[in-house]
Amino acid sequence: MLRIYSSLSRTKEEFKPIEPGKVRMYVCGMTVYDFCHLGHARMLVSFDVIQRWLRTMGYQVKYVRNITDIDDKIIRRAVERNQRMQDVTAFYIDAMHADEKALNVQSPDFEPRATEHVGDMLGIIKLLEDKGLAYQGDDGDVNYAVRQFKGYGKLSGKSLDDLRAGERVAVSSGKRDPLDFVLWKAAKDDEPAESKWQSPYGLGRPGWHIECSAMSHALLGMPLDIHGGGPDLKFPHHENEIAQSEGAFGGEMASIWMHCGPLMVDADKMSKSLGNFRTIRQTIAADVADDQATYEANPREAEMLRFFIVRNHYRSTQNYAPDNLYDAQQAIDRLYQTLANIPPAAQNGIDWDSPYAQRFRDAMNDDFNTAGAVAVLFDLASQANKDKSAALSAELKALGGILGLLQHDPQTYLRSPTRYLKTGAQASSITDAQIEDLIAQRHQAKQNKDFAQADAIREQLRAQGIELEDKPGGLTQWRRA
C-alpha cells in the first residue's frame, strides 16, 4: 500500500488514484531565463524518482511538467541581451534538457509551454470574471478577487489576515484589495511586441499563476491525482492555482499536493535571488562555457549528484557543502565497486518476494522513502560481497535502476575522474595510458620477483589517487579514488 504525505492534509494518506490503475501527475517546471541550479536538480530528480516508482508499481502514469516561457525575468533577459524572447527561452530549454540527460532524469510525457496555452488562460479568466472572482482594474490588469474565494489559504495554512501581497507581482493601484493577484497583465509601451497578446482586456500577457491552472486542466483535467513542485511554490503559486482552478471549474484541483524540501547553503535556501546558487553544469561538468547550451557531463560526478539527492528523503531539508558531495561520491563508488568485483548475473525482472526487494518496496511505499531504499542497497552490497553472489549483485543493480542509479559499466565508471575529493586533496592528472603503463611495469616486476619495486609502483599510483586490486589469473583492476 502506497502512502503519500499530502501538503494539503498535512498527513500521510493512502494513495487511491481517481481512475483505478492510472495516475495523472502535474509538476510545476522551470522558468527558462537562466541555467538550472542544484535546488532545481533536487526537484527534477525527486519527481523523476516518484514517477519511476509509480510506473514500477504498475500504474499508467501521465506525467506533465510545464515550462514557463513568458515571464518578467525572461523579458528582462531578452532586453538585456538584445535578443528575441524565443531565442532566450530556446537556449535555456536546451540547457535544461542537457542537465536532465546528465542526471538521468526521464522526460515527462508532456512538456507544455505557457505560450502555447494563452487561449486556455483567457478562457479561465473569463469563467472567473463571470463568477465574480476576477475584475479589471483601472490600470488594465485583470486581478483575482481573493476574498471572494472561501477556500483561500487552505494549502499554505495562512489566514487572509496573515497574508501579504507582492510575492512576485508588486501591488498596483488597480487592485481592490492588496491580497488580489494578477491574472492578466496589461502591456507596457517599453516591452517587446512578442510579449503581448490580444485579449478581451486589451494587449497584454498572462500572470504567472494562471499558466499552470490552464496547462494542467488542458492536458489532465480535474481533479489531478498528484500536483507537485519545489518548496517555495506552496505559497503563493499553488495556493493561487487552487483559487483559480477550483474557482473556475468547481470541485477539487488535486487529491495529493507534494512539495520537495529545500536545498540549503548554511542557513539559507539555495536560490538565484540570494546569489548563493551553484548550477548543475558547474557541479557535474568542467569548463562548460556560458554560451554553450548542451554539454557532456562527467558520468561519475553526474551520478554522484543524483545519488546525493536520492539518499535523502525528498521532503527533508538537505544541506549543500563540498564535503557532502565528496561523501556522496565515496558512497556511490562503494556500490559500483561491488558491481565491478562481482559481475551481476543475468536477471529477468525483480523478484519482489526477495527480502531485500520487500524492504526496498516497503521503504518506497512509505512516502517514497528513498533514504530507506538506499540503505537496502548498501545492505545488499555488503551481503553480495560477503557471499560473492552474482545473483545479489544483479538484484543490487536492478533495485538501483529503479532510483535511476548503478546503470553505468562499473569499470568505466570507476575509472572516470572526479573533482570531489577529501578536503585538502589534490586532483590527479595521471592519464589512463600512464596508469596502464605503470601496471604493466608492476606486473613485470612481480614476474621478476622484484616485489619491492611492485609495491613501490602500487604506492606511486596510490599517491596519484589510483587504487589497484589484483584478481586471479594475474589480472589487475584499477579505479580512481
State the binding site for Zn(2+).
28, 212, 237, 241
**Per the omega criterion (within 30 degrees of 0), is the bond before 223 cis?**
yes
Please identify which residue in the block is written with the cell numbers 487511491: 16
Q: What is the DSSP string of 87-152?
A: HHHHHHHHHHHHHHHHTTPPPPSB--BGGG-HHHHHHHHHHHHHTTSEEE-TTS-EEE-GGG-TTT
- The widest CA-to-CA distance across the chain, in whole angstroms, is 93
Q: Which helix (H) or strand (E) holds 264?
A: strand 263-265
Going by C-alpha positions, the residue among 137, 133, 156 that lies closest to residue 146 is: 133
**Residues 326, 43, 26: CA angle, nearest 5 degrees:** 160
Instruction: State how far the Cα of 254 lies from the Cα of 233, in Å rounded to an integer.
Output: 15
Return binding residues for ATP.
Answer: 272
What is the dihedral angle through the alpha carbons of 28, 31, 36, 39, rounded to the nearest 10 degrees? Answer: -50
Return binding residues.
Answer: 28, 212, 237, 241, 272
Centre a 10 Å sphere on the Cβ of residue 365 and count the other Cβ atoms it contains. Answer: 16
Note the residue count of the chain: 481
Please identify which residue in the block is written with the cell numbers 609495491: 455
- Contact by Cβ (8 Å): 221, 253: no
Q: Which helix (H) or strand (E) holds 412?
A: helix 410-414
Q: Considering just the CA atoms, what is the radius of gyration of the chain in Å?
A: 26
